[in-house]
Amino acid sequence: MSYIDVFNGDADGICALLQLQLDSPRSSRLVTGIKRDINLLDKVQADAGDRVTALDISLDKNRQGLHRLLDAGAEVFYADHHFAGEIPQHPKLTALINTDANTCTSLIIDDYLNGKFRAWAVTGAFGDNLFQSARDTASKLKLDDGQMDELHKLGTYINYNGYGQSIDDLHFRPDELFRSLLAYSSPFDFIADKSSAYELLENGFLEDIDRARSTKPEFETENIAVYILDDEIWARRVTGVYSNELANQTPSRAHAVLTHNKRGGYQVSVRAPLQNKTGADELCRQFPEGGGRKAAAGINHLEKGALPQFIEKFRGQYE
């Protein structure tokens, strides 16, 4: 019998698994990837009796893999907050799914473990941009403002580390980052340890976001803004976190941040205005390789020549 832990490579996925493994230490095979790499169960081979844990990856997107594992006789523990569709009924499946917009996988696991490693759960929620839920959950920990801020930053940095076009773009492979965090039962110990990865993450984040902030918009009106970041690794790492920052800064406006992909075109991240979280998916679906949610969506590959067409549709969506 072996353990296989499958998790999204962002802060929420990592902090969910940290809580579970701190609660029941085990040697397991880790299966993860960059944040966008969500079809993770396709990569898992398991036999009868094996225990598979799947965290922070849409059940709907992993349905085939899930059925294959259950058919093989594996036991599956599944916790997530993305769209799940119909949840299979199976004696070997435990599914903790909650698609409420104010929760995330780290908070689902916090409930499941009765708050045993709550500071890690709060870190994951901050990383997933759920500021209010993170603060509400943290209220039982009686943190001061400085401590709350520390968890907020750490969540942001771990989340930032998950973005890139491939694992090579990242500062740390998500499985490697997970293993180094696992040495700390509290995130405050990780932050305080001068020999930990914390400083490297922080410096990397601050350097990348500074470069992004100095990029002038390619196109802007009162209602939309389009940014094209340089064709550099830093841009692919910071695009997601920077899109969130822009959205928070000007909540009445929609934003698109473009990076150069390896196919000679653009990868596009769209954020709907925070004050009107609609239309991002509708806009992106008009392009091949576009999709996402109402508030946040994207296009994996936009031909460079199609930029004017994209801007026109973007204006049409929000003006």
Residue 131 has φ and ψ, to the nearest 5°, of -60, -45
Q: Which two tokens stand for residue 159?
A: 């989340």
DSSP β-ladder status, 224-228 and 254-260: parallel
Q: Which is nearer to Mn ion, 4 or 79 (CB)?
A: 79
Q: Which is nearer to Mn ion, 11 or 70 (CB)?
A: 11
Closest distance to Mn ion from the beta carbon of 102 (Å)? 12
Sign of the torsion angle spanned by Cα atoms 215, 244, 33, 263: negative
Contact in structure between 125 and 137 (CB atoms under 8 Å) = yes
Candidates 5, 12, 50, 75: give the one binding Mn ion (CB under 5 A).
12
Question: Which range of residues in 58-66, 103-111, 206-214, 252-260 is near Mn ion by CB under 5 A?
Answer: 103-111
Q: Which is nearer to Mn ion, 8 or 317 (CB)?
A: 8
Those residues whose C-beta lies under 8 Å from the C-beta of residue 29, and which sit 6 or more positions away, are 2, 3, 4, 5
Q: Which two tokens stand for residue 245?
A: 């920052």
Q: Does 56 bind Mn ion (CB under 5 A)?
A: yes
Candidates 14, 15, 57, 104: give the one binding Mn ion (CB under 5 A).
104
Candidates 50, 128, 175, 208: give the one binding Mn ion (CB under 5 A).
128
> Helix (H, G, I), strand (E, B), or coil: what is residue 228?
strand
Interface with Mn ion (CB under 5 A), residue total 4
Q: Which is nearer to Mn ion, 55 or 246 (CB)?
A: 55
- Helix ranges, 57-163 (H): 63-71, 105-112, 118-127, 131-138, 145-161
> Helix (H, G, I), strand (E, B), or coil: what is residue 37?
coil
Q: Which is nearer to Mn ion, 56 or 281 (CB)?
A: 56
Closest distance to Mn ion from the beta carbon of 239 (Å)? 17
Residue 132 has φ and ψ, to the nearest 5°, of -65, -45
Q: Which two tokens stand for residue 278?
A: 């609609």
Q: Does 75 bind Mn ion (CB under 5 A)?
A: no
Question: Which range of residues in 126-134, 163-171, 176-184, 235-243 is near Mn ion by CB under 5 A?
Answer: 126-134
Q: Which is nearer to Mn ion, 8 or 300 (CB)?
A: 8
Q: Does 80 bind Mn ion (CB under 5 A)?
A: no
Closest distance to Mn ion from the beta carbon of 233 (Å)? 24
Helix or strand (DSSP H, E) at 212: helix 198-213
Closest distance to Mn ion from the beta carbon of 82 (Å)? 7
Q: How far apart are the C-alpha atoms of 160 and 45, rounded to whole Å?
A: 29
Catalog residues that contact Mn ion under the rule CB under 5 A: 12, 56, 104, 128
